[in-house]
Amino acid sequence: MDRPALADFLLKHRSALQPADVGLSTGARRRTAGLRREEVAQLAAMSTDYYARLEQQRGPQPSTQMLGALARALRLTAEERDYLYRIAGQNAPARLAATDFVAPPLLRVLDRLTDSPALILSALGETLVQNDAARALFGEADHLTGFERSAIYRWFVLPEQERRMYPPDDRERHSRAQVASLRAAYGSMGAESQAGEMVAELSRRSEEFVQLWASHEVGRRFEAHKVLIHPEIGPLELDCQALFTEDQSQALLVLTAAPHSDAEGKLKLLTVLGTQAFSSRTAH
- The pLDDT tens digits for 118-140 are 999 999 999 999 998 999 999 88
Nearest to 73 by CA among 24, 134, 124, 6: 24
In a domain, 60, yes or no: yes
Provide the b/e sequence for 236-254 (b: ≥16 CB within 10 Å): bebeeeeebeeeebbbbbb
- Listed residue (140, 150, 6, 3) closest to 71, CA to CA: 6
Are 23 and 136 found together in one domain?
no
Q: Are residues 46 and 172 in the same domain?
A: no
97 within domain boundaries = no
Q: Report the candidate in 155, 154, 173 with the shortest Cα–Cα distance to residue 222.
A: 173
- Provide the 3-class DSSP secondary structure of residue 241: strand
- Same domain as 51, residue 184: no
Residue 76 and residue 8 share a domain: yes
> Whole domain around residue 150: which residue ranges?
104-278
Same structural domain for residues 204 and 139?
Answer: yes
Tell me if 283 is assigned to some domain.
no
Q: What is the pLDDT of residue 187?
A: 81
Res 114: pLDDT: 84
Q: Are residues 36 and 169 in the same domain?
A: no
Q: What sign does the dihedral 262-264-265-269 (CA atoms) show?
A: positive
pTM (predicted TM-score): 0.68
Q: Are residues 54 and 174 in the same domain?
A: no
Q: Is the residue at 99 inside a domain?
A: no
Those residues whose C-beta lies under 8 Å from the C-beta of residue 48, and which sit 6 or more positions away, are 37, 38, 41
Structural domain contains residue 93: no
| Residues 163, 135 contacting (CB under 8 angstroms) | no
Q: Looking at residue 67, what is its pLDDT?
A: 93
pLDDT band at 99 (very low <50, low <70, confident <90, very high): low
CB burial class (10 A; 0-12, 13-18, 19+) of residue 208?
middle
Residue 49 lies in a domain: yes
**In-domain check, residue 246:** yes
Domain boundary among 55, 87, 119: 87
DSSP code of 218? Answer: -
User: Is the domain of 249 the same as that of 205?
Assistant: yes
- For 64-89, b/e burial (b = at least 16 CB within 10 A) is eebbbbbbbbbbbeeeebbbbbebbe
Whichever domain contains 129, its CATH number is 3.30.450.180
CATH number of the structural domain spanning residue 76: 1.10.260.40
pLDDT band at 48 (very low <50, low <70, confident <90, very high): very high
Sheet containing strand 225-230, edge to edge, reads 127-130, 118-122, 250-256, 234-244, 225-230
Distances from the Cα of 143 to the Cα of 62, 92, 167, 184, angstroms: 18, 23, 26, 26
Number of domains present in the structure of the chain: 2
Tell whether 75 and 144 lie within a shared domain: no
- Considering the domain architecture, whether residues 79 and 153 belong to the same structural domain is answered as no
Domain identity same for 61 and 109:
no
- The Cα–Cα gap between 36 and 21 comes to 13
Question: Looking at residue 283, what DSSP letter applies?
Answer: P
- Distance, CA of 22 to CA of 229 (rounded, Å): 30
Over residues 185-228, the pLDDT tens digits come to 888 787 888 999 999 999 999 999 999 998 888 888 788 899 99
One domain, residues 42 and 121: no
Q: Is residue 92 part of a domain?
A: no
